[in-house]
Amino acid sequence: MLLERETELSVVAGALRRAAAGNGSLLVVTGPLGNGKTELVHSLAELAGAGARGAAPSAKVLQASGALLEQDFAFGVLRQLFEPALAAAPAETRERWLGHAAGFARLAFADDCPPTEGRAPAAVAQAVLQGLQALAANMSADHPLLILVDDLQWVDTPSLRWFGYLAKRLDRLPVTVVVSVREGDPRSEQPLIAEITGSATRTLRPRSLSQAAIRELVREQFGEPGDAEFVAAVHEISDGNPMFLMSILLNMVVGRRRPVAEEIENARMLGPSMFRDRLVACLRSQPQPIRRFANAMALLGEHAEMELIGRLAQLDAVGCTEAVRVLDRLGLLADGPVPRYIHLTVQDAVEESMTVEERARVHISAAKLLHGCGYSAEQVAAHLLAVTAPQDGWAIEVLRSAAHTALRRGAPEAAARYLRRALVDSSSDGEDRAMLLVDLATAERGFDPPASVRHISQAVPLLTTAKERAAAVVRIAPSVLNAAPLPVGDLVRQVAAELGDPDQLSGQERELALRLEARLRYTGQEDPAQLAEAVDRLLGMGPEPGTRTGSERELLAVLLYAAMMSQKMPAAEIVRRANRVLEREPATASHVHTALPLLVSTLAAADSVTVVSSWLDIALEQAQRQEATVSSTWIYAEQSLVLLCAGNVAKAKARGIEALELVDAEWIEATTLASSALTTIAMDTKDIELARWLLDRDGDQNGARAGRSQYGVSHHAMHQLLRGRLLAAEGDPNGALEYLLDAGQWLERAGWHNPAVYPWRGWVAEVHRQAGDEAAAAELIEEECARALAWGAPAASGRALRAKATLHGGARGVELLREAVEVLRTSCDRLELAKALVQLGIRLQELGSGDADELLSEGRVIAQACEAGALAELAVPETAVVRSAAHPAAVSGPQQASLTKTELRVAGMAAAGGTNQEIADTLGVSLRAVEKHLTNSYRKLAVPGRAGLAAALGQDTASGVAG
């Protein structure tokens, strides 16, 4: 009996009318446990058939329910929705529904996927979503659809992804989707659920039942009207919650009590807190055939067929009918042709009524029954997971097949659970155990890299051939090798030596050998000798190295990175070869488990990130669909570096912090790239808070890092650079130089000579100037410029030319800045171009050149696009500066008109709080020049020093030129 739900039914009826006109919608039914969501959703099937009565247009109904024990059954809910309709449809109609683009929907309904013509797993997953969308569209073309899904919070992840996909496209389909979500359940807050519910046209919240409704329910259950006092008390006890209310009424009916005032205390004792205990006690008191049937229903799930339940319960048709009659009389079954419990609470209570031995025995029987009847591997595996007793070899095959299916559908953690259970049934030292360990490691590397490495190490000694051992070892992601225990590295070298020289091999052995070589060269990034060997290997491949296979591309990524870091090949040549790799490498989340992230770093250093930026966007979308934490972390870090190289400093900072906060700090290799980008930001922008945050995150602010063997060159250098930046900000240039020069020495000893990666000489030069040593600063700037020009990347070259311009005044300085601007016009780094334009514009403004305003205006526009507010405010055209100097409100005092344009700009920046060094760096002039301009300003404005500038300069002027 559905009471007091007229408003909700009216809303759904309106949605069905709009869907009949081709405008679909999504409705969400929500609320706390037991507020009648399930009953309302199930009643909508009848509403959809009410077209003849005029209440709402008729629609084809597809129904499904999420189940807690079936969350790991990929596409399980979608199969509930579509398989009955497909099975009932004539063959011609079924083939038409599944024709063309909808053909990929078959993958969601198949236990073993057919060949997919070499497509990547992520591409197949996307095709499945599109195929299911096409299937829904084809079916709705015949008749509007009403899709009903109960308990969305328990729906499997692949099905959730499709609902999110469908929700964005309903406005073009005659489809109405109604889902129920339990409020307060932690799974209801997960991103996929939130995305679906956030797309809802309406959210319905069935209200608690009134006393009038409860009076009707009491009359129906007891066959007599209840006393007014009894109805009021039951309303107060249950708070109008339909499920809790029914738990009270049903228990009273079973106890043969009447709805009278004298029974109010008994009703209170039968409240929701006692519902489960009472139900368990009731079930345990039933005859064995009834208990077996109830147990079989509970463990097979709510959607099992009557015949299957009967076979598991060992009951004939008569026994099943009697069991259904008894359970229905107890009020435990929902209406419908297939017996199912009214709520998961009842199912849980049934399972609780079973002993441990009884539960294990029924699960094993259910697994064997489903396996023998041809059910999917994941359905069978769900029962095997519930038992710990070893099974025969058939269980291993089932669990392994279920794991492969889960991996194909983007559920690695579910796959890992299946495989861990399979290990219980495997031998202790046989090849079967080794293959399970390799499969488990493959699943784990997406969310637990250390465990993945550990399981590969355990598997290799159990394998019998070099090819098998190599195939296992290449499952280890190169990024975790440096952080892995030393024996793991030795293992990779041993297996590579055993397999042989890749140039002497062919076929799969060559592919494996190339991937092993890539991993070994990956671990040699900090050894100058190994870097040199890698460059020789690259040069030996000729100008067009092979990129046909994934192994060739992976090795080439490592070799190009070595050539970039050691600066043994010009940027243009490296970019050409790297882009050949990208042209052939599909953008997938799994690239982070190879050496391909090095390619992103290489292209970033070479100032060529346009193509790789969109490539990473596609990869991230796949990682997020698969909920792969490690993959998402790596891609966030890669994007941070790409954004930084494009001049989007604020976005790069946000993305880098997001990467570092996504995973545990102990995953060193997964976060080094983000830390590197953030370190560069902190150094370039003098972001002291960011520098402190990075050091605090490492947990070591008081001294240098431990030895190189533990943390690596990159981490040590970053730490020293950040410590140096902090000391420079605290006014200790000598202490800062000690840290900064140590960082530079580490980088040079490792063979990392490229100034595009860590432009440490420029940072050291700034501190030398702070200490008053212009000669040392000039020497470093000249060396940095020579290296940058030899590298040839526009961003690095332009940055170095800007720095070199600070060493020269007059025409030579302007010439260098013009050269920097021209070089940077071909760069991806728009912020660096803005800096060069502003610096050149200010120089030309001082010289009275007519094109200064045009350059400053262009620099201002670019700086604003890069969200560089301070730089944009600094790029003030000459007319604006002169107007500020001449306006009586701008400067107080008789000397206001005597300030030159540069003096006014420097004074304004000083008044805004800029240090002399910051002003010099921003304007591209020497520290001595800034001091000279400030001294002149103090004299002309008749103020004793900085403290008097803010009062002597008007607020408009200070804010207008300081930024």
Cβ(693)–Cβ(681) under 8 Å? no
- Of 190-204, 248-262, 572-586, the least confident: 248-262
Q: Are both 144 and 12 inside the same structural domain?
A: yes
113 pLDDT band, cuts 50/70/90, is very low
What pLDDT score does 123 carry?
59
User: 388 or 616, which is more confident?
Assistant: 616
- 544 shares its domain with 649: yes
Supply the DSSP symbol for 475.
Answer: T
Alpha-carbon span 444 to 360, nearest angstrom: 28
Residues 519 and 530 in one domain: no
* Cα distance between residue 113 and residue 830, in whole Å: 47
Q: Are residues 39 and 87 in the same domain?
A: yes
**H helices of 143-172, where?**
157-167
pLDDT class of 778 with cuts at 50, 70, 90: very high
766 pLDDT band (50/70/90 cuts)?
A: very high
Domain count of the chain?
Answer: 4
Instruction: Output the domain CATH number for residue 963.
Output: 1.10.10.10
Which residue carries 């598997």 as its tokens? Answer: 459
- What range defines the domain where residue 186 resides? 6-204
Boundary (domain end) residue, out of 661, 691, 724: 661
343, pLDDT greater than 70: no
With CA atoms as reference, report the closest residue to 232 among 215, 249, 220: 215
Q: Are residues 155 and 109 in the same domain?
A: yes
How far apart, in whole angstroms, are the C-alpha atoms of residue 939 and residue 117?
79
Please check the confidence at residue 55 and state whether its pLDDT lies above 60. Answer: no
pLDDT of amino acid 877:
65
Does pLDDT of 940 surpass 80?
Answer: no
The per-residue pLDDT for 484 is: 65
The answer to whether the predicted template modeling score (pTM) of the entire model surpasses 0.85 is no
Residue 345 pLDDT class (50, 70, 90 cuts) = low
Residue 409 tokens, joined: 């559908």
In sequence order, what are the residues at sequence separation of 6 or more whose Cβ sits closer than 8 angstroms to the Cβ of residue 423?
433, 436, 437, 440
C-beta separation of 567 from 786 below 8 A: no
Domain boundary among 176, 204, 232: 204
Residue-level pLDDT at 107: 86
Considering only residues 67 and 762, tell me which one the structure prediction assigns the higher pLDDT: 762
Average pLDDT over residues 878-886: 46
Co-location of 545 and 496 in the same domain:
no
**Rounded distance between C-alpha atoms, residue 406 and residue 125, angstroms:** 11
The pLDDT of residue 119 is above 70: no
pLDDT, tens digit (0-9, with 9 covering 90-100), for 61-84: 999 998 877 888 888 899 999 999
Residue 744 included in any domain: no
Mean pLDDT across the stretch 139-167? 91
Listed residues 482, 500, 523: the one ending a domain: 523
Q: What is the pLDDT of residue 817?
A: 95
Residue 45 lies in a domain: yes
Q: At what angle do helices 393-408 and 356-372 cross, to 10 degrees?
A: 70
Q: What are φ and ψ of residue 493, in 5° steps?
A: -65, -40
Task: Output the six-digit token pair for 288.
Answer: 């064995």
More confident residue, 348 or 637: 637
Rg of the chain over all Cα atoms, to the nearest angstrom? 35
pLDDT in tens, 209-229: 888 888 888 888 888 888 898
* Residues 577 and 545 grouped into a single domain: yes
Q: Which residue has the higher pLDDT, 438 or 71?
A: 438
Residues whose CB is less than 8 angstroms from the CB of residue 565 and which lie 6 or more positions away in sequence, other chains included: 525, 531, 751, 752, 753, 754, 757
Show the tokens assigned to 803: 């720095």
Classify strands 202-204 and 25-31 as parallel, antiparallel or unpaired.
Answer: parallel
Q: CATH no. for residue 156?
A: 3.40.50.300
Query: Are 519 and 529 in the same domain?
Result: no
- Quote the pLDDT of residue 818: 95
Q: Is the pLDDT of residue 956 over 90?
A: no
Does 463 fall in a domain?
yes
Q: With 60 as the cut, is the pLDDT of residue 684 above it?
A: yes
CB neighbourhood size of 802 (10 A): 26
Q: Are 493 and 607 in a shared domain?
A: no
Pair (502, 558) in one structural domain? no
Asked if residues 804 and 816 have their Cβ atoms less than 8 Å apart, the reply is: yes
Average pLDDT score, the chain: 85
Instruction: State whether 65 and 105 are in the same domain.
Output: yes
CA distances from 836 to 780, 804, 854, 876 (A): 20, 12, 13, 14
Question: Do 823 and 797 form a contact (C-beta atoms < 8 A)?
Answer: yes
Cross-strand bridge partners of residue 25: 176
Q: How confident is the model at residue 878 (pLDDT cuts 50, 70, 90)?
A: low
568 three-class SS: coil
pLDDT at position 889 is 40
Is residue 177 in a domain? yes
- Least confidently predicted of 223-237, 388-402, 901-915: 901-915
Highest mean pLDDT among 113-127, 288-302, 306-320: 306-320
Q: Return the minimum-mean-pLDDT range out of 308-312, 330-334, 353-357, 771-775.
A: 330-334
Lowest mean pLDDT: which of 129-133, 301-305, 766-770? Answer: 301-305
Q: Taking the CB of residue 904, how many other CB atoms lie within 10 A of it?
A: 25
Q: Is the pLDDT of residue 886 over 50?
A: no
Percent of the chain with pLDDT over 70: 88
Residue 926 predicted with pLDDT over 80: no
| pLDDT for residue 892 | 44
For position 874, what pLDDT does the model report?
74
Q: Is residue 588 part of a domain?
A: yes
8 A C-beta contact, residue 512 and residue 499: yes
pLDDT over threshold 70, residue 398: yes
Question: What does the pLDDT read at residue 957?
Answer: 40
Res 746 pLDDT > 90: yes
Q: Is the per-residue pLDDT at 885 higher than 60?
A: no
pLDDT at 930 over 80: no
Q: Has residue 963 got a pLDDT over 80?
A: no
pLDDT at 54: 46
Instruction: Please provide residue 227's backbone torsions phi and psi, each rounded to the nearest 5 degrees.
Output: -60, 150
Determine which of 22-36, 626-640, 893-907 has the lowest per-residue pLDDT on average: 893-907
541 vs 536: CA distance, rounded Å: 9
Average pLDDT over residues 368-396: 89
pLDDT of residue 887: 43
* 180 and 47 belong to one structural domain: yes
Judge whether 299 lies within some domain: no
Residue 426 lies in a domain: no
| pLDDT of res. 916 | 76
Q: How would residue 678 be classed by pLDDT, with cut points 50, 70 and 90?
A: very high
Q: How far is CA 524 from the centre of its chain?
A: 30
pLDDT at 534: 95
Query: What percentage of the chain has pLDDT greater than the value 90?
Result: 47
Residue 623 is assigned to a structural domain of this protein: yes
